[in-house]
Chains A and B, each alone.
Chain A
Amino acid sequence: MKITETIDIRFPKTLAEAVRLQASEKTRGKLLAGGTDLMVQWAAGVPIPKRAVSVWNLPELCAIEVFPDRIEIGAGVTHAFLRDAVQIHRHVPALIAAAATVGAKQIQARGTLGGNAANASPAGDTAPALLVTGGSVLLASVSGTREVPLAEFWTGYRQIAARADEIILAFRLPKKGKAQERFRKIGTRQAQAISKVMAASRILVEKGTIRSAAIALGSIAPTPVRLAEVEAFLAGKKLSPKLIDEAEKLAQATVQPIADIRSTAEYRRWASGRLVRDALENL
């Protein structure tokens, strides 16, 4: 059906104005960034809200800042902007690679990192790459800014740790330093593809020994997940073909994927291990 409902959309000029609107139930609106998730959902029958508050182009949300140990990426930064921001590529390459696989050029030009995270789809492509940085999310409200570790951000299927009055301000992500990152997506096709499974990793190897490993998968659970058991298994071990075999099997034994329209549970289980292998073989 055509959407003819009227939505009262506010366009605050500053973050302060936006958080004020969100503070009161009377003025609070559905946050609207690029709209690439919301518009599709509304057209597909998700109830259309009475009010929306646009955070598109809100200056405070559009910055990327580079600090000695970390970078901070505003929630309103688009995938296209990330893809083209070459200065930061070496600090978070998995995230950049993930952003470059979202939809296709048109969607990347409009879709934001904050929208991808807040939409909290298990198939959100940037989530695993965010997770492996071990970073955090900055949430803004009238009472100020609080920091939530990404590991605690996705609380359930399409649920996040932000309160109704909070706006995602930015992602605070430790640089990878000497660690190596990798992102690999298995999608339904070459573009405009929702993931069947995808993996991101940040692994530090010194003299052939894995010092630390962060590996995250998407589309295999209600939320994006870190493979804690595999990470613990790998830490401190010498990298070898046997180790890779074992890590692949361990990953396959620990994940509990489901079957849906995009893939089968068996394939997802198998592919989870294969993507762990991929991360390790490319070190």
Chain B
Amino acid sequence: MTKRTSQSVRWVGQGMPRVDADGKVRGTTRYVNDVDYKGVLHGVVVRSPVARGILKGLVPDPAFDWSPIVLATAKDVPGENVVVMHDRTMPLIAEIGAEIRYRGEPVAVVAARTPELAAEAARRVRVEVEELPPLLTLQEAIAIFKATPEKLDSMKSQDIVKGDVATGFAAADEIVEAEYWAGHQEQLYLENQGLVVFPQKDGSILAEGSIQCPYFPVHELNDCLKLPPEKIRVRQTAIGGAFGGKEEYPTMLIGYAALPALKSGKPVKIAYERNEDILFTTKRHPVWVRYKTGVKKDGTLTAIECDFILDGGAYLTISDVVMFRGILHCAVAYRCENVTIRGKVARTNSFPCGAFRGFGAPQAIWGIESHVDAIAARLGRAPHEYRRQIHARPGDVTPTGQVLSKENGSTACLELALKRADFAKKLKQVSRGRLRKGQRKLYGVGLAFFAHGSAFTGDGEAKFKAKGRVELARLEGGKPVVDIRVSSTEMGQGVHTIFTQIAADALSLPPAHVRFPMADTGLVPNSGPTVASRTTMVVGNVVHRAAQDLKRQIEAFASLRFFQGAPAELRASQLVAPGAKPVPFAKVAKALLAEIGPASGFFQFELPADIRWDQATFKGDSYPGYSWSANVAEVEIDPLTCELEVKRVTAIVDVGRVINPTLAAGQVEGGLTQALGYAIMEKIGTGKNGLYDAARLQTYIIPTALDVPEYDVKFVEYPYSFAPPGGKGLGELPMDGLAPAIANAVEAATGRRLRQIPITPESIFAALHAPQGGTP
């Protein structure tokens, strides 16, 4: 690892150990719930006991001693009672006389010196609601949509249109049509939601806690707290996993805690226990997706028509963008001239769904990858051969009209996956419902092939202009250190390590010189939220460029101060100039700090000027770059019990330049395991009273180490050359495709196509024993 080849590109590409490993392994890292905040009040949210109704009253029990309790209701909202996410419909807290729209909707917040007293006080508030009939599930919403499409209460609709599907269907020899369903999924981060709001003397607030996107609350609570952005400061504490679950939800939590905090002038902490966290925070959106496809005998896809409807829950929050990402992934991986995709976000009386690794893409890919197998089966083609024919590759035009550049390793992923998994040979051994000679279990192998758009959708990054700094501003133990100042948060994915590698290379300094303090909106510029598989690609580039900027400043200083104006270069921890004795970096840095003060390198991200995007028509370059992957899943099903075991998974991944192969492989294996749970275990519903029915770890089933299959993960590198060091999005991609690969393998094993996940022994049993069970 220490072999020094050239001065640059030394740490990028290495499997450097995580910079945060020590504290996490030793248990010295302190999460928000480990910190003893002196003098805080503990907040507990009082919630609606019903899924829908009119809030009639809040009656504090007169027999209870309310003197030590702070009770905040909608009356205590300083400004307009609204959380501004992607619309202005959601109140922070329900008002008397207003409609309650989901079970658990906050109606009051109580705070007290102990969590127990606060919980008791919360129980002593009688919540009076005049009940109205709720619409609880996506199934109910889709039944309405199928009967009368206009009657669906859609919070946001968006179409993508390319060519003309009517022409495409007319040219087709076969029409293949099917529907696919997926349910909620809980993020199940190890550390539950938790944060503290400190009211400040000047009327502003400081919030700290397990927060994935510190800048979100800064811009979402202004109207309701009547505070401008500069009066809402947010900083992260160590985050024990997030997966999107701590993306937009903490904004609401800050809002809840802020009410008693501002009312009492005391800091208020809200930390959920697991049960409350599962019951009353966001989940992955359930989906119903219907594909109607036209295909010629030679396999050419002539038309793709798709309805993609997410269950948004009771309020829009950020679901429009989740749906956008969903529809942009519904047909992006295949060649087709005529495409119509209609996306909608159904309103139901369930907890608002939110961000979760993949952000709509896993739902879309679940549908299309199941469906492509169904088309291949109709044509009598092998699934891999068929994908070889129709998959998108450089030069092809996506449904939004984007021409795929050379930096898309789609074919390489597909081919290497087929080769490493020995797919063609294994396909000959599949059981198709009957044990072959020598088989004791039904065997199946399945393939999925897919892309994931990196960074914000469309021209989001062009508009946003992520900003970041790399500073030389302080000594630590007498030694100069360089601080990375961006708003990206470490939540287990490894960003602190890879940015350290990127900065070290750009500066030509060893990582030991680089620090990455946790994000604090009071100290870091807005480099955007840690979401959308954008961090390595976009903010990584910002760090790279800002570090280069800092390096130039250090070199300029050294040139004048140490080399009589001769051009100096920072190389391998030394400043060197032609013909002069090198000066150690530490000496130069100390002189710089002492004589002219801190130096700061800055960069603001730009997209290439030729990126085009029209948000109104959804035409143009929908993502700056695409990561690609092909997954092969091998399954065994016990014919005795229909128990399903995923034995082996091959995942070939193009995420551009791999900054840290060890961490990248870890991300892939972790994402695949989360996708395994989505595919075959994780099940949670809102059928009864709108309350999630699997709210404990005993009933919400995720994979254990023993459930994890053998993984074969390999990278092929097609770097995003516009933004060195050239990474593309990695975080979400591994979550996207395993579910359909498993469903396709189950079809190969049983001869039945299951169109709903999770695929459980119960659903396999039902498919095998129903007369028409699940055939395509």
Decide whether A and B assemble into one complex. Answer: yes
Residues of A within 8 A of B (CB): 1-2, 4, 40, 44, 104, 186, 188-194, 196, 261-264, 266-267, 270-271, 274-275, 277-278
Which of B641, B705, B766, B769 makes the CB contact (< 8 A) with A186? B641
B119 at the interface (CB under 8 A from A): yes
Residues of the B chain whose Cβ atoms lie less than 8 Å from the Cβ of A186: 641, 643, 761
Residues of the B chain whose Cβ atoms lie less than 8 Å from the Cβ of A191: 704-707
Residues of the A chain whose Cβ atoms lie less than 8 Å from the Cβ of B703: 189
Residues of the A chain whose Cβ atoms lie less than 8 Å from the Cβ of B115: 1-2
Residue of A nearest to B681 (CB): A189
Residues of the A chain whose Cβ atoms lie less than 8 Å from the Cβ of B640: 274, 277-278
Shortest beta-carbon distance from B653 to chain A in Å = 26
Give B637-682 interface residues, CB cut-off 8 Å to A.
Answer: 640-643, 681
Residues of the B chain whose Cβ atoms lie less than 8 Å from the Cβ of A193: 701
Cα A44 to Cα B278 in complex, Å, equals 14
Residues of the A chain whose Cβ atoms lie less than 8 Å from the Cβ of B116: 1-2, 4
Residue of A nearest to B645 (CB): A190
Residues of the B chain whose Cβ atoms lie less than 8 Å from the Cβ of A278: 640
Are A190 and B704 CB-contacts (below 8 A) given A2-B115, A261-B693, A261-B694?
yes
Give B677-696 interface residues, CB cut-off 8 Å to A.
Answer: 681, 693-694, 696
Residue of A nearest to B44 (CB): A1
Shortest beta-carbon distance from A266 to chain B in Å = 7
Render B734-769 as a binary contact track against A, CB cut-off 8 A, 1 for contact.
Answer: 000000000000000000000000000110011001
Cα A193 to Cα B119 in complex, Å, equals 31
Cα A194 to Cα B701 in complex, Å, equals 10
B405 at the interface (CB under 8 A from A): no
Residues of the A chain whose Cβ atoms lie less than 8 Å from the Cβ of B766: 264, 266-267
Residues of the A chain whose Cβ atoms lie less than 8 Å from the Cβ of B167: none
Residues of the A chain whose Cβ atoms lie less than 8 Å from the Cβ of B275: 44
Shortest beta-carbon distance from B143 to chain A in Å = 21
Residues of the B chain whose Cβ atoms lie less than 8 Å from the Cβ of A270: 765, 769
Count A/B pairs, Cβ under 8 Å.
Answer: 62
Shortest beta-carbon distance from A108 to chain B in Å = 14
What are some 6 contacts across the A-B interface (CB < 8 A)?
Answer: A189-B701, A261-B699, A264-B762, A270-B765, A271-B642, A275-B641
B614 at the interface (CB under 8 A from A): no
Give B586-629 interface residues, CB cut-off 8 Å to A.
Answer: none
Residues of the A chain whose Cβ atoms lie less than 8 Å from the Cβ of B696: 44
B273 at the interface (CB under 8 A from A): yes
Residues of B within 8 A of A (CB): 115-116, 119, 273, 275, 640-643, 681, 693-694, 696, 698-699, 701, 703-707, 761-762, 765-766, 769
Given contacts A186-B761, A261-B693, 17 further A-B pairs with CB under 8 A are: A1-B116, A1-B273, A4-B116, A44-B696, A186-B641, A186-B643, A189-B681, A189-B701, A192-B704, A194-B698, A261-B699, A264-B762, A266-B766, A271-B765, A274-B640, A274-B641, A275-B641
Residue of A nearest to B700 (CB): A261
Most central of B696, B765, B766 by chain A CB within 10 Å: B765
Residues of the B chain whose Cβ atoms lie less than 8 Å from the Cβ of A261: 693-694, 699
| A188 near B701: Cβ-Cβ < 8 Å | yes
| B762 near A190: Cβ-Cβ < 8 Å | no
Cα A271 to Cα B681 in complex, Å, equals 18
Residue of B nearest to A4 (CB): B116
| A190 near B765: Cβ-Cβ < 8 Å | no
Shortest beta-carbon distance from A185 to chain B in Å = 10
Are A189 and B761 CB-contacts (below 8 A) given A2-B115, A261-B699?
no
Cα A274 to Cα B704 in complex, Å, equals 26
Shortest beta-carbon distance from B632 to chain A in Å = 21
Residues of the B chain whose Cβ atoms lie less than 8 Å from the Cβ of A104: 704, 706
| B704 near A267: Cβ-Cβ < 8 Å | no
Residue of A nearest to B639 (CB): A274
Cα A196 to Cα B701 in complex, Å, equals 13
Cα A41 to Cα B643 in complex, Å, equals 29
| A189 near B693: Cβ-Cβ < 8 Å | no
Cα A196 to Cα B683 in complex, Å, equals 15
Closest 8 CB pairs of A and B: A190-B706, A267-B762, A191-B706, A191-B704, A188-B701, A190-B707, A261-B699, A264-B762
Residue of A nearest to B643 (CB): A186
Cα A227 to Cα B7 in complex, Å, equals 76
Most central of B275, B761, B769 by chain A CB within 10 Å: B761
| B765 near A267: Cβ-Cβ < 8 Å | yes
Cα A192 to Cα B699 in complex, Å, equals 11
Residues of the B chain whose Cβ atoms lie less than 8 Å from the Cβ of A1: 115-116, 119, 273
| B641 near A271: Cβ-Cβ < 8 Å | yes
Cα A8 to Cα B766 in complex, Å, equals 51
Residues of the B chain whose Cβ atoms lie less than 8 Å from the Cβ of A40: 698
| A263 near B762: Cβ-Cβ < 8 Å | yes
Residues of the B chain whose Cβ atoms lie less than 8 Å from the Cβ of A2: 115-116, 273
Shortest beta-carbon distance from B43 to chain A in Å = 13
Cα A196 to Cα B763 in complex, Å, equals 14
Most central of B641, B693, B704 by chain A CB within 10 Å: B641
Residue of B nearest to A263 (CB): B762
Residue of B nearest to A262 (CB): B699
Shortest beta-carbon distance from B324 to chain A in Å = 34
Which of A44, A189, A275 makes the CB contact (< 8 A) with B707? A189
Cα A261 to Cα B705 in complex, Å, equals 23
Shortest beta-carbon distance from A125 to chain B in Å = 14
Cα A274 to Cα B703 in complex, Å, equals 25
| B699 near A196: Cβ-Cβ < 8 Å | no
Cα A191 to Cα B115 in complex, Å, equals 33
Shortest beta-carbon distance from B685 to chain A in Å = 9
Residue of B nearest to A44 (CB): B696
Shortest beta-carbon distance from A260 to chain B in Å = 9
Cα A65 to Cα B643 in complex, Å, equals 37
Residue of A nearest to B694 (CB): A261
Residues of the A chain whose Cβ atoms lie less than 8 Å from the Cβ of B693: 261
Cα A10 to Cα B366 in complex, Å, equals 56
Residues of the A chain whose Cβ atoms lie less than 8 Å from the Cβ of B701: 188-189, 193
Residues of the A chain whose Cβ atoms lie less than 8 Å from the Cβ of B641: 186, 271, 274-275
Residue of B nearest to A277 (CB): B640
| A266 near B273: Cβ-Cβ < 8 Å | no
Shortest beta-carbon distance from A154 to chain B in Å = 21
Cα A270 to Cα B642 in complex, Å, equals 10
Residue of B nearest to A186 (CB): B641
Cα A264 to Cα B764 in complex, Å, equals 12
Are A267 and B699 CB-contacts (below 8 A) given A189-B681, A189-B704?
no
